[in-house]
Structure 1
Amino acid sequence: MASENDLNGLDLPEFGFLPFDLYVMEKWNPTSPLSIVQQKKQLVEEWIKLGKYGRREYLGTIPFPEEIPSNVPQNLLTPRERAHDGQIERTLFIRTWYGDPSDPASQDKADDDYAHLVEVISSEYGEMGLMMDEFFIFDEEEEFSSSLLSTQSGDAEFSDGVAIPRPGCMPSYVLAALMHCPDQIEGTRIENLDDLPSAEEVEGQQTLLVLVADRKACEEGWVLHLAINHKGQVLPFRVRDGADWVSASYANWSDGQQLTENTENPEADTEMYMDHGGGGGGWD
């Protein structure tokens, strides 16, 4: 992510302008035994799990300054995060592989492998920041390392650094990313009620594309593509695509193509390796 000081030209919404602000105002517990970070994480997770229809009541209402309780923190998001939260970007790129924390050589190799992965992905654009907004490229070891997340999570989310997402779950690395932009799960646009799909239909619709740079991606070029629904849950059909096809995947999603359009059975618990005729390898 770019520097917090890089705010040139960004619109900085005051507290109360973002839908998540209203949720914080309603749910913040100043007497909670949790730390501020822990309580924020709890609220972000609850916010995401509300889903499209649960979040609607927080859209479109902006409180007067005097209506904001003095004991509600207004700095849970940094200025740069506030400027990006809920913007048009619908793709998150998350690095989770940083090597074995007890082996410096493994960590150095992981950095080199990740740099190579980014170079291949960027071959069409010159740099990743020209493909997508750099804010949504998450590369912070202390937040996203598979070693750290495997320790914190009660469920097995990684096997030797390789992500093994379970359909219906909210991966901890997705939650960690949305801690920086909780309104990104849906944006801040108020939709016409007449245009909304049924609650049943929306469960299987993709809201976000999450690209995961796990160990298999960094070492073999196979980048994991996850379709995330309106509750932050992984949809059953996943894709592993070669590094040099990531920009095409990103473009297709930006044009409205859901990940499930790559299969005739979107409900199947499947992780498909895309073969574009290059020999079957992630770097081909």
Structure 2
Amino acid sequence: MQSKFGMKIKAGGQYIWMLRTYSVTNIIVIGILISNLVSASYVLLTWKCLTPNLSAILVLALNAIAIPTLYHYSQTMKSEIKSRQAIIEITYETIHNGPLQSLDRVLRMVRGEDLSIKKLIPELEPELEKLNQELRGIYEFWQQENLTQEANLHLGNNIIINLQDPLHEILYQVYSHTLERDFSCFRTIKLKIRSFEPVDESSLTLENKRGICRFLEEALCNVGKYATGVTCLKVNCSLSMGWYTLSIVDDGLGVNSSREGRGTKQFKNLARQIKGKFQRLPIYPQGTICELSWPG
């Protein structure tokens, strides 16, 4: 008696566990199938002239129509959600590495410089005009692009780069255009060392290439904003022991903070996508190294 009772509890527990593992879509499909079966059974019972074999065929036909339709609908919804999420991420990255960087520079000018309003306004005006142009450029860029097949990279100063070009060429363009931006710490750099080796892109998607370029862009922007007193900047992308490594090294003071910002979370997620590694570490006695690695 106890054994049968225990088996019932176990079976019930397994049934509940199976329900929990089903997605909402699966539960809906099962509900519709059961409804079809019950409805068909009722109709067939009222039509006594129908044979059991014909009943089974009709039920199978109903389910054969319902299942593919629901599956196609589910896949379409998942694809649309994924596409929208990708658009949101691309838009945020474009704004974060463009207009938000300019806005941060304006805020630093307002907070850091002890100037009167009359002296501060002439300095702020060109910065605000630049911010205005960047925001308008992003709008125009999205108006021209096919959002579902986005193959371009939008940098600051309304520069458009084709992501279908070889990655080492794209990285050089990102490097060159980012260093042209007006960040205070860039002005103290006396030595620039850069090297971008060709990359095997067979395992990388366009979104992966975009993420790698955004990593380089933001790492350079961080040098321009925070690496106080930087005199040497080394940027290198090379293959070693089966791994590609893109590293940005500076000798500035930098900012030591345990807080994980939006960019750090973004690049850790990128590292997981490309099955690689991301790290940002201080260098003794001063400096910072920022690296993204992935298997070749």
Scaled by the length of structure 2, the TM-score of the pair is 0.24
Higher helix share: 2
- Point out the structure with max Rg over C-alpha: 2
Higher relative contact order (CA 8 A, sep 6+): 1
